């Protein structure tokens, strides 16, 4: 994609978003919708300007929980995927267990985790980790397995050690899959952290939404939602940026070069 | 006086056991390859010729028989063998030169020395200007040349080529045949080429081992007494066509 094309892409997205917000704003004013039902975009923005520190403080907690859960998910996920690949006999046992763990609804076990880990950040990090973990394991394990047979034959013919096969042959070829797992995981981790804050605690954007709802302060709830969305997009963008830096070979190449 | 064979295959049998019983893939295959010789193993698809290569490379186990490389029984993979596969099998996350350096990394050869030799090999296959390109920026023919360079880079004494040009178009294929001869006359590695193209086998080889359909036996070993260096014009010479025709009839009779 050339840069002028990507500018055009952004232009289309932005104009669509702005139009939607305008329609929303106008409908609120035209039909005089009460604020506690559907606040207008301008009132949401006003809320954010009134108390910016509120969002910074609570936002920071949510970001911290999300990020910590995500990082642990990446580390544990990588380790689990590596074990699955290096010890195939473990895979048959581990995969069903992982699947069962994935199928347990995290919202349902959140209260139990609170009992176990208290009301601080710990249970939120655990929930964020639990929801983010699965896509990373599955994607990475797939990537590690998808190495070309001939490449593995080449490795064997050079008498490469297990370690060399893993790091030089399997791991780099799994990187694109790891990143697609990480992109799903980072968005899930945000949701996990919010779920944790919903269930108990006294900090974070999820907690802010609960409070706002109790006080029928809908503009505040919406303002928190906007901050969560923006934060999620920024985190997703950060993972994508990292992907571009780490795997230059995965990028689409300019047409002129590909054709020759 | 007889020189010791670089590759010696005697009465090689390979039987696969499947759910529906056992399938004999190779049934007593015998041939020798002398040092610095270029020999092709020719056979119809599914005749198990790739299995011969894998057993010689130590990547697959034989059922019975004797396989020796440079006087030693093959018990597993051997570093003195370079392999070129049917597909380029390049690492897409590595540039051309980095792909060529892979074997020396695995074998822990001194970096500076390996790099110098890698560049030399890259120039030998005619891609000196493409060192820093990624595989997806190169054509199929170029990718296969890089994989040839990769097999040569750690200077193995034996080259095994498993239908390396079968996925390429005819023009690229003929061109790479000439390239391969040029490379071979430069390095003189003992080479064993697996192919199902009769004219390719005849054009490149000192001798051609002709395998029959499954279960494969050696039908004939044909000496190719065309002069070297071989030139593209030879492909239309009377002698060349006669040999191709002779081998073709041999395989054809087997089908009748």
Q: Are A32 and A200 in contact (CB under 8 A)?
A: no
Q: Are A190 and A232 in contact (CB under 8 A)?
A: yes
Quick check: pTM over 0.80? no
Q: What is the mean pLDDT of residues B205-233?
A: 90
For A149, the closest chain B residue by CA position comes to: B89
Distance (Å, whole) CA B154 – CA B104: 6
Instruction: Say how many C-beta atoms besides its own lie within 10 A of residue A108's C-beta.
Output: 8
Percent of chain B with pLDDT over 70: 97
Distance (Å, whole) CA A259 – CA A103: 46
Is residue A206 domain-resident?
A: yes
Please, what is the average pLDDT of chain B?
90
Residue A197: give its domain's CATH number: 1.10.3720.10
pLDDT reported for residue A250 = 63
Strands B38-42 and B190-195 come out as parallel
pLDDT reported for residue A89 = 85
Q: Same structural domain for residues A153 and A222?
A: yes
Q: What is the mean pLDDT of residues B107-121?
A: 90
Interface of B with A in 40-59 (CB under 8 A): 54, 57-59
Helices (DSSP H) in B79-227: which residue ranges? Answer: 96-106, 111-124, 140-153, 170-187, 198-204
pLDDT reported for residue A88 = 80
Cis before residue A220, ω within 30 degrees of 0?
A: no
**How many interchain CB pairs under 8 A, A with B?**
70
pLDDT reported for residue B97 = 94
pLDDT reported for residue B255 = 44
Write B221-224 long-range contacts (CB < 8 A, 24+). B221/B31, B222/B246, B222/B247
Q: Same structural domain for residues A55 and A163?
A: yes
Banded pLDDT at A130 (limits 50, 70, 90): very high
Q: Same structural domain for residues A5 and A60?
A: no
Q: What is the pLDDT of residues B123-152, one digit of tens each?
A: 988 899 999 999 999 999 999 999 999 999
Contacts of A251 in chain B (CB under 8 A): none
Is residue A72 domain-resident?
A: yes
Q: Same structural domain for residues A55 and A175?
A: yes
Q: What is the mean pLDDT of residues B237-245?
A: 91
Cβ–Cβ below 8 Å for A157 and B93: no
Q: How far is CA B46 from CA A165, B24, B31, B213, in A?
A: 30, 12, 19, 7
Q: What is the pLDDT of residues A135-169, one digit of tens each?
A: 999 999 999 998 889 999 999 999 998 889 999 99
Q: What is the mean pLDDT of residues B52-67?
A: 94
Is residue A38 domain-resident?
A: no
Distance (Å, whole) CA B138 – CA B100: 15
**Joined tokens for residue A8:** 């055009």
Q: What range defines the domain where residue A18 resides?
A: 1-31
Contacts of A257 in chain B (CB under 8 A): 137
Q: What is the pLDDT of residues A205-227, one digit of tens each?
A: 999 999 999 999 999 999 999 99
Q: Is B239 on the interface with A (CB under 8 A)?
A: no
Q: What is the pLDDT of residues A172-217, one digit of tens each?
A: 989 999 999 999 999 999 999 999 999 888 899 999 999 999 999 9
Is residue A259 domain-resident?
A: no
pLDDT at A259 over 60: no
Q: Smallest Cα–Cα separation from B68: which of B122, B141, B9?
A: B9
Is residue A40 domain-resident?
A: no
Q: Same structural domain for residues A135 and A179?
A: yes
Angle at B210 between CA B204 and CA B212, to 5 degrees: 145
Banded pLDDT at A67 (limits 50, 70, 90): very high
Give the count of domains, chain A. 2
Q: Same structural domain for residues A155 and A219?
A: yes
Q: How far is CA B42 from CA A150, A180, B199, B212, in A?
A: 21, 44, 10, 9
pLDDT at A260 over 80: no
Q: Same structural domain for residues A1 and A55?
A: no
Cβ-in-10-Å burial (0-12, 13-18, 19+) of A113 comes to buried
Coil, helix or strand at residue B74: coil
Q: Same structural domain for residues A113 and A76?
A: yes
Q: What is the pLDDT of residues B186-208, one digit of tens each?
A: 888 999 999 989 999 999 999 99
Lowest mean pLDDT among A23-27, B17-21, B135-139, B159-163: B17-21
Q: Same structural domain for residues A75 and A110?
A: yes
Contacts of A169 in chain B (CB under 8 A): 91
Q: Same structural domain for residues A110 and A12?
A: no
Please tell me the distance in Å from B39's CA to the nearest CA on chain A: 21
Q: Same structural domain for residues A112 and A205?
A: yes
pLDDT reported for residue A1 = 54
> Which residue of A154, A164, A173 is in closest CB contact with B83?
A154
Q: Is B15 on the interface with A (CB under 8 A)?
A: no
Please tell me the distance in Å from B142's CA to the nearest CA on chain A: 11
Is residue A191 domain-resident?
A: yes
Is residue A41 domain-resident?
A: no
Please, what is the average pLDDT of chain A?
89
Is residue A198 domain-resident?
A: yes
For A172, the closest chain B residue by CA position comes to: B93
Please tell me the distance in Å from A258's CA to the nearest CA on chain B: 6
What is residue B9's DSSP assignment? E
Cβ–Cβ below 8 Å for B107 and A150: no
pLDDT reported for residue A251 = 58
Mutate to test the interface with A, among B50, B80, B84, B93 (most CBs of A within 10 A): B93
pLDDT reported for residue B47 = 78
Q: Same structural domain for residues A14 and A106?
A: no
Identify the residue with better confidence: B214 or A79: A79
């Amino acid at each position: 994609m050339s840069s002028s094309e990507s500018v055009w892409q952004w232009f289309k997205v932005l104009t669509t978003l702005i139009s939607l917000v305008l329609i929303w704003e106008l409908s609120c004013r035209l039909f005089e919708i009460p604020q506690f039902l559907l606040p207008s975009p301008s009132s949401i923005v006003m809320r954010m300007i009134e108390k910016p520190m509120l969002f910074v403080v609570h936002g920071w907690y949510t970001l911290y929980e999300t990020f910590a859960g995500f990082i642990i998910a990446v580390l544990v996920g990588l380790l689990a995927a590596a074990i699955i690949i290096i010890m195939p006999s473990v895979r048959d046992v581990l995969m069903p267990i992982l699947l069962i763990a994935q199928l347990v609804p995290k919202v349902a076990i959140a209260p139990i985790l609170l009992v176990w880990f208290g009301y601080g950040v710990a249970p939120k990090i655990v929930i964020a980790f639990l929801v983010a973990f699965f896509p990373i394991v599955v994607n990475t394990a797939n990537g590690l397995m998808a190495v070309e047979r001939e490449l593995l034959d080449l490795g064997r013919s050079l008498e490469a050690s297990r370690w060399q096969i893993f790091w030089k042959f399997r791991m780099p070829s799994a990187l694109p899959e790891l990143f697609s797992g990480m992109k799903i995981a980072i968005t899930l981790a945000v949701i996990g952290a919010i779920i944790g804050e919903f269930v108990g605690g006294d900090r974070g954007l999820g907690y802010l939404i609960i409070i706002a709802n109790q006080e029928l302060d809908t503009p505040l709830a919406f303002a928190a939602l906007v901050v969560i969305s923006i934060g999620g997009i920024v985190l997703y963008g950060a993972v994508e940026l990292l992907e571009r830096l780490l795997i230059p070979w995965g990028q689409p190449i300019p047409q002129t070069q590909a054709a020759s | 006086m007889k020189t010791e064979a670089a590759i010696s295959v005697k009465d090689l049998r390979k039987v696969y056991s499947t759910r529906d019983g056992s399938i004999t893939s190779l049934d007593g295959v015998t041939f020798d390859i002398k040092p610095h010789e270029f020999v092709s193993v020719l056979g119809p698809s599914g005749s198990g010729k790739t299995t011969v290569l894998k057993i010689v490379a130590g990547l697959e186990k034989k059922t019975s028989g004797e396989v020796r490389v440079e006087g030693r029984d093959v018990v597993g993979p051997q570093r003195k063998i370079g392999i070129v596969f049917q597909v380029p099998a390049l690492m897409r996350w590595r540039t051309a030169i980095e792909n060529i350096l892979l074997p020396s990394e695995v074998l822990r050869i001194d970096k500076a020395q390996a790099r110098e030799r890698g560049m030399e090999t890259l120039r030998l296959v005619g891609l000196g200007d493409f060192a820093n390109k990624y595989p997806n920026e190169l054509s199929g023919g170029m990718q296969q040349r890089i994989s040839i360079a990769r097999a040569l880079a750690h200077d193995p004494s034996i080259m095994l080529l498993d239908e390396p040009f079968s996925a390429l178009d005819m023009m690229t294929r003929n061109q790479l045949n000439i390239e391969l001869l040029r490379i071979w006359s430069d390095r003189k590695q003992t080479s064993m080429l697996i192919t199902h193209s009769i004219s390719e086998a005849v054009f490149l080889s000192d001798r051609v081992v002709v395998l029959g359909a499954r279960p494969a036996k050696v039908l004939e070993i044909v000496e190719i007494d065309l002069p070297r260096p071989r030139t593209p014009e030879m492909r239309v010479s009377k002698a060349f066509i006669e040999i191709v025709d002779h081998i073709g009839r041999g395989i054809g009779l087997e089908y009748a």
